[in-house]
Amino acid sequence: MFTKKELRALLIPLVLEQILTGIMGAADTLMVSSVGEAAISGVSLVDSVNMLAVNFFSALAAGGTIVCAQYIGHRDETDAGHAARQVTALAAALSLAAAAVLIPLRRPLLGLIFGSVEREVMDAADVYMLVTVLSYPFLALYTASAALYRAIGDAKRPMLAAAAADILNIIGNAVLIFVFHMGVLGAALATLASRIFSAAALLICQARPGQTISLGRLAEWRPDGPMLRRILRIGLPSAVENGMFQFGKLAVQSTVSTLGTTAMAAQALAAMLDSFVGMPGTALGVGLLTVAGQCMGRGRSDEARRYMRLFTRLCTVVMVIIGAVLAPVTPLITRMTALTAEGAALVCHISWAMSVMRVLFWPTAFTLPNGLRAAGDVSFTMWTGAVSMWLFRVALCWALCRYTAVGLWGVWIGWSADWVVRTVCYAVRFHGDRWLDHDVLK
pLDDT at 115 over 70: no
pLDDT (tens digit per residue) in 207-216: 887 777 877 6
How confident is the model over 265-271, as a mean pLDDT?
76
Please name which of 20, 40, 21 lies closest in space to residue 30, comparing C-alpha atoms: 40
DSSP state of 116: S
Candidates 120, 139, 135, 134; CA nearest to 183 is 120
Distances (CA, A) of 161 to 13, 62, 133, 157, 196: 11, 18, 21, 6, 11
Whether the predicted pLDDT of 392 surpasses 80: yes
Output the pTM of the full model.
0.86
**Could you read off the pLDDT of 123-142 as tens digits, one per residue?**
888 999 999 999 999 999 99
Distance CA 281, CA 279 (A): 5
**DSSP calls for 32-73:** HHTT-HHHHHHHHHHHHHHHHHHHHHHHHHHHHHHHHHHHHH
Question: What residues have CB less than 8 Å from 235, skipping those under 6 apart?
Answer: 59, 60, 61, 62, 63, 64
Report, as an integer, the average pLDDT of 176-191: 92
Q: How far is CA 250 from CA 81, 128, 133, in A?
A: 38, 19, 19
Question: Can you give the residue ranges of every domain in the chain?
Answer: 1-223, 244-442
Report the share of the chain in percent with pLDDT over 90. 47
Q: Does the pLDDT value for residue 224 go beyond 70?
A: yes
Per-residue confidence (pLDDT) for residue 422, from 0 to 100: 96
CA distance 238 to 376: 11
User: Rounded mean pLDDT of 317-339?
Assistant: 84
Average pLDDT value for residue range 94-115: 88
Mean pLDDT of the chain: 87
| Stretch 273-281: mean pLDDT | 81
d(CA 276, CA 268): 13
pLDDT (0 to 100) of residue 44:
73
The whole-number pLDDT of residue 104 equals 95
Question: For 213, which DSSP code?
Answer: S
pLDDT at 372: 95
Residue 29 confidence (pLDDT) above 70: no
Beta carbons of 163 and 146 less than 8 angstroms apart:
no
**What's the pLDDT tens digit per position in 140-165?**
999 999 999 999 889 999 999 999 99
* Residue 296: pLDDT band with limits 50, 70, 90: very high
Q: How far apart are CA 146 and CA 68, in angstroms?
A: 12
What average pLDDT does the segment 275-302 reach? 90
- Is the separation of the CB atoms in 126 and 46 below 8 Å? no
Confidence of residue 218 (pLDDT cuts 50, 70, 90): low
Q: What per-residue confidence (pLDDT) applies to 37? A: 62
Q: What is the DSSP letter of 260?
A: -
Q: How many helices (H) and strands (E) does the chain have?
A: 15, 0
Gap between the Cα atoms of 388 and 366, Å rounded? 13
Q: Does residue 13 sit in helix, strand or coil?
A: helix
Cβ neighbours of residue 254 under 8 Å, at least 6 residues apart?
Answer: none
Mean pLDDT, to the nearest integer, of 77-91?
Answer: 89
| Confidence (pLDDT) at 231 | 87
